[in-house]
Amino acid sequence: MLDVVKKVAPSIPFDADRLDRLMDEAGIDVMLATSKHNVQYLLGGHRAFFFESMDAMGLSRYLPVLVYPKGARQKAAYFGHRMEGFQKENDPFWVSESQTNSSGSVDAMQKAIDYARKLGAKPRRIGAELGFLPVDAGTALRNAFPDSEIVDALFVLERLRAVKSPEELRKLRIASERVIESMLAVIANHGPGATKRELTEALRREETNRGLTFDYCLITAGSSLNRAPSEQKWGKGDVLSLDSGGNYHGYIGDLCRMAIHGEPDAELEDLLAEIESIQRASMKPIKAGATGSVIYAAAEPLVHKSKHHNHMHFLAHGMGLVSHEAPRLTATGPVPYDAYDAGRPLERAMVVSVETTLQHPQRGFIKLEDTVVVTDTGFEIYGEGGRGWNRGGTAVR
């Protein structure tokens, strides 16, 4: 007779006390998480593999819904698509109620609504991820609770994820290091004449072969500042910029490194050295307890002092399951949000991406981007290799 192994649901994979406190501060009684990344976080790693690359399914969209009532974690529930049932059989969820039998956005939301009604008292305030809620599902939610206020739960969930667990840091380290390894392999294996499209495809293969999910590659060659893959060739003497995001189990490695075919001249050496000095200066004051604004305070004076300041900019932003998340350090970056963390202390295990970019009119796009983890006494860099001018084609000569 075969032994049957009874699968036991895991413990709660996040700080539930912190979530209760954040919901209380926001006045939220019940929260409905519907984004892939927040559902993954709250379920401790679950991500529907069938919908990893696409959401559409017939006449509707994939919509996972995790219901979390404040102060009653034992009543949390999850409602997913029928294609997720196989994963649930292998790895049970920690929530007390889980149904993986929905077929679309309204179906999943209606099941979540029915469950929320059974919780008892009518919620005064319901938190939902408004930016990740289809109109049809959102309408169903509003119609079901006409006397409740529907508010955005994005901020609560972002603050919950702001401090990374050891397991999250492990995944971020792996993602960062493997992105760098992939970039260096592409640079070494391509001689003059490779197109930006070919280089991007080669990077996709390198990252995939290392167990990453390839997200994107922003790529420039020569003096062009165009960062899209194209038939433009990386020629002899041309600089190359590779800025890529590859994720490991959802956690993003987002870094940028430089290369050249041949030897960099003195000007190029100086330009990259200046960018490196700004990067290092921005990292130097990072440590738990330091105010978030110290990063910009260290970097921006160097940018303003540079003779290339009209073509140079610095950016620092949080990293994790999303490429721009807490800590929020600036209100003037490419992604609009308030600088909530600029005046607050950095916490141990927060993760910050720092990047310095020079769009030189004659020499081209020159940039470094690094992933930095806040520690009690300072910081740690994930994926520190390849910081200088990497020589192209060294493996094919």
What are the extents of the domains in the chain?
16-45+53-161, 166-391
Percent of the chain at pLDDT > 90 equals: 93
Reported as a pLDDT band with limits 50, 70 and 90, residue 9 is low
Reported as a pLDDT band with limits 50, 70 and 90, residue 396 is confident
Average pLDDT over residues 199-220: 98
Average pLDDT over residues 114-129: 94
Q: Which two tokens stand for residue 208?
A: 């995939």
CATH code reported for the domain at 166-391: 3.90.230.10
Does 3.40.350.10 match the CATH number of domain 16-45+53-161? yes
* pLDDT of res. 120: 84
pLDDT at 221 over 60: yes
pLDDT at 5 over 50: no
Give strand pairing partners of 373.
Answer: 351, 380
Model confidence pLDDT, tens digit, residues 92-106: 999 999 999 999 999
Which of 273 and 335 is assigned the larger pLDDT?
Answer: 273
* pLDDT of res. 336: 85
* pLDDT of res. 1: 38
pLDDT at 6 over 50: no
Is 254 exposed, middle or buried, given 0-12, 13-18 or 19+ CB atoms closer than 10 A?
buried
* pLDDT of res. 104: 94
Tell me the pLDDT of the chain averaged across its residues.
Answer: 95
pTM of the model: 0.94
* pLDDT of res. 3: 42
